[in-house]
Structure 1
Amino acid sequence: MGKRIEFKGKKVLVLGLAKSGFAAAELLHSLGADVVVNDSSPEKGNAEAQALRSKGILVICGGHPENILDRGFDTIVKNPGIPYHNPVLQQAKQKGIPVWTEIELSYLVSEAPIIAITGSNGKTTTTTLLYHILNIGGKKPLIAGNIGTVACTVAQNAIPDEVIAMEVSSFQLAGTENFRPKIAVWTNLYDAHLDYHGTSEEYALAKSKVTSNQTEEDFFIYNADQPEMKPYIERSAARKIPFSLRGKQSEGISADDEMIYWQGEPFVKRSIIKLLGHHNLENILAATASAILMNCDKETIENVLSSFTGVRHRMQFVKELRGRTFYNDSKATNTLATKSALSSFQSPVVLIAGGLDRGHSFEELRPYMGRVKAVLALGETADRLVEFAASCGVQHSVKVGTMKEAVEEAFAISQEGDQILLSPACASWDQYPNFEERGDAFIEAVMQL
């Protein structure tokens, strides 16, 4: 286990538990580090704290003591969600103590090469699609990171002939120092998480750390259609593989209306692709380029592209029933995501939308409402959505109380050839704990038709 075991005898503070902190503490302890865990949650009922104590690890719960760094730590491994203005982290900065996230540990212990995928949008779809191609291609992939499986848990057991497809967020990348994937993928850059990073520049710098330690022996796949990424791309020392949707390009991977091209040569026809959406075509190019660099054959890539219908709750094909096609895009929690979904269709769309009212405007959707024949509006934003749809000339826009009502009404007013799309443009928390449960309610309602 491990290409670099540097932790024996080192004093490490794990700040914050949850899945990543628990996994990091276990791993560091197994590597011989002197581990202290500090979690802000109460002592009572903290099963993770009790499990770590049973291994002989010191766990301090209920807050972050001001003097905790007096113990002389060599390194801090923090939960990605803990902001850097946390007083302990501010003290660590003053003392020059490195602050990592557990994906730094995953790199330090992994014997398998890492393909790291980041971006404001599309990370999960790209990672999942790539995993499927690698798996069918016999490349022994593992999947890890922000997608739900703690990276260092996967990495510590990885062997050299496997490969880790790792989704990495800006929160995770901000806490890296040596992290160097064999292939880095940066899907796109839009302002996000500014409450955490502070500025657009800090957010972009965190994202760019996916390639900052790469050398000419590594590959960097990036979105060539976004000029705002150019300053960060130019700093990378890796071999650069651009992707573009602006027609055939002589370098990297590109696409026009008919074909995907690799290094300027026709590679696969777009007509075989099952996954809808302009934004998803970016994800397809990034995943396909990664697979080519991993020596997956063309036939394997074609087979997966012709069968992959998306990640659950992200433009997920659900069912075709009596000529109507149902798509679950519950992950669309803002107008940008719903705009991308609507742009995927030319045939008439019956749109199910609405949710938590944060006061956001729906105006960004207006250019795409011409392809919407009806809107079924849910949740706190229902009245505003009905009014907006009417102002766009949508003939049928009504407020409904439940997802079941929305699906039944959508089916009743639709015709053969119509697309019935759940793409809420709002968060779910007014009616559902998360977008996953909202999407599951949609799927269940469709299956009951």
Structure 2
Amino acid sequence: MKTLKQFSYTHVLVLGLAKSGTAAARLLLDSGVQVRVNDLKADPESSEVRALIEAGAEVITGGHPLSVLDGVDYLIKNPGIPYENPIVSEAVERGMPVVTEVELAGLLHEGPLVAVTGSNGKTTTTTLIHEMIKADEQKVALAGNIGHVSCEVARSTEADETMVTELSSFQLLGTEEFRPDIAVWLNLYEAHLDYHHTLHNYHEAKARITRNQTEADTLVYNADDERIQAFLSQTKAKLVPFSLKEKGKGAWVDDTHLYFEEEAVIELSEIVLVGEQNLQNILAAVACVKVNGIRNQAIIEVLRTFAGVPHRLQFVTKKENRLFYNDSKATNILATSYALKSFQQPVILLAGGLDRGNSFDSLLPYLGGVKAMIVFGETAELLMKTAEDAGIESVGKVDTMEEAVHEAYRQSEAEDVILLSPACASWDQYRTFEERGDMFIEAVHKL
């Protein structure tokens, strides 16, 4: 496996283990760097920690003493650790680079690098790009926030292999020199303000995906998103748009076909994925791979068969003519609004989760087709108020996902859609949105 060849730092602190921290520590140790690991909750007797110690790392658990910064010249932090953390803020104060493991991936990977970000649609778009390149029989690897640690994937990629990586704002904020050959910027919305504190900070973090790009690189961007348009003057990259509204440039659609520039790529009726959000994701993926030289036949093959990723408008089953959809990855209002726009039939919406301090007023325009709402989690009361403002007469508050599914089914009729699309993060009740979605699927099958 590859190691870092030109890394100018000798003493590195890895703050937070989990998958990304462990992978970063192993890479650095194999590259001859002195590594100190600090994790509050890690079990010092676990096989993971023992393996790092045996490989030469110093591991400090059970607390975050500022002394872990002594003698350190570089800090790699878990993306979820906020910058208000005393160790992180002290490192910044000392002028020390503070990065996420994505920075190491950028230093290590030698082949073409595609990076995808946006407030919504990242996983679907990243997966589509990967599948389209693979269908063209090109070497390609999948990495990033999609579940595969980027620096770990980059260790085994070849010089002629494309790495497609999904990046969150948390990961991008921890980049210094990271430079993708093709950056894909899907959309920009109000999200993660509990972490970034201001909309400006969040937008600036996202913009880092193109900050280091040059004239030799490409930025695929959403031409329908005015917030992204405001950042275009800051990039040196070649601009390739995608749009549901504008025609003739980049990737676009009319009533019958999807195009790239002047070339018809596929009839819309042949595309399996449903919904406006997914059509935007498809346009972004097509623009990216066409820039990358992928043949139309590979694109068509994927779009005729790709039915979506788990937890993103995932069809679960049909029972007594009720359709069940799992959209647990809808962790903000924009994602839920896109989900609601995907259905013409009446919807029973299951929503709620972590309270990030935002209101749900911007969801109101999309609740016209919602006949009932079942709410849960920290935001239950806020969502009940939103349902009342929307004129939804049937609203139920529950404690568990199984109760939510049973109550939704009780209130449903034939042809209704029962949709889990929470508009909130999952961390108040579940470890991940995947766990939340799996609980929904399990409850549905228990019916």
Pair 268,416 (structure 1): closer, same or farther in 2 beyond 3 Å: farther
The CA distance in 2 between the partners of 1:167 and 1:43, in whole Å, is 30
1:281 CA drift (Å): 1.9
Residue 153 (structure 2) aligns with: 154
1:395-444 CA distance string (max 9 Å, x none): 65555675445545655665554333222334556654543233223323
SS in 2 for 1:370: coil
The CA distance in 1 between the partners of 2:93 and 2:383, in whole Å, is 50
The CA distance in 2 between the partners of 1:283 and 1:33, in whole Å, is 40
TM-score (norm 1): 0.88
Residue 287 (structure 1) aligns with: 285
1:70 CA drift (Å): 3.9
Superposition pairs of residues 334-349 of structure 1, within 5 angstroms: 334-349=332-347
TM-score (norm 2): 0.88
Aligned 8 A contact 1:8 1:31 in 2 = no
SS in 2 for 1:311: coil
The CA distance in 2 between the partners of 1:399 and 1:39, in whole Å, is 37
> Which consecutive unaligned segments of at least 5 residues does structure 2 have?
none
1:330 CA drift (Å): 2.0
Question: 2:275 matched to 1:277?
Answer: yes
The CA distance in 1 between the partners of 2:97 and 2:389, in whole Å, is 54
> Which consecutive unaligned segments of at least 5 residues does structure 1 have?
none
Aligned 8 A contact 1:247 1:256 in 2 = no
1:52-96 CA distance string (max 9 Å, x none): 11112222333344344442x342222222333334334433443
Superposition pairs of residues 12-411 of structure 1, within 5 angstroms: 12-41=12-41, 44-71=44-71, 73-248=72-247, 250-321=248-319, 323-354=321-352, 361-378=359-376, 389=387, 392-394=390-392, 397-398=395-396, 403-404=401-402, 406-407=404-405, 410-411=408-409
The CA distance in 1 between the partners of 2:262 and 2:60, in whole Å, is 58
The CA distance in 2 between the partners of 1:90 and 1:426, in whole Å, is 28
1:105 CA drift (Å): 0.7
The root-mean-square deviation of aligned C-alpha atoms, in Å, is 3.0
1:239-271 CA distance string (max 9 Å, x none): 1111111142x2211234433221144322222
The CA distance in 2 between the partners of 1:375 and 1:69, in whole Å, is 49
Aligned 8 A contact 1:113 1:163 in 2 = yes
1:40 CA drift (Å): 3.4
SS in 1 for 2:125: helix
The CA distance in 1 between the partners of 2:43 and 2:394, in whole Å, is 54
1:304-361 CA distance string (max 9 Å, x none): 2222222211111223445443211122344433222111112232333445677865
SS in 2 for 1:442: helix
The CA distance in 1 between the partners of 2:13 and 2:165, in whole Å, is 24
The CA distance in 1 between the partners of 2:399 and 2:90, in whole Å, is 50
1:380 CA drift (Å): 6.7
SS in 2 for 1:184: strand
Aligned 8 A contact 1:2 1:111 in 2 = no
SS in 2 for 1:164: strand
1:3 CA drift (Å): 9.1
Aligned 8 A contact 1:113 1:182 in 2 = yes
SS in 2 for 1:196: helix
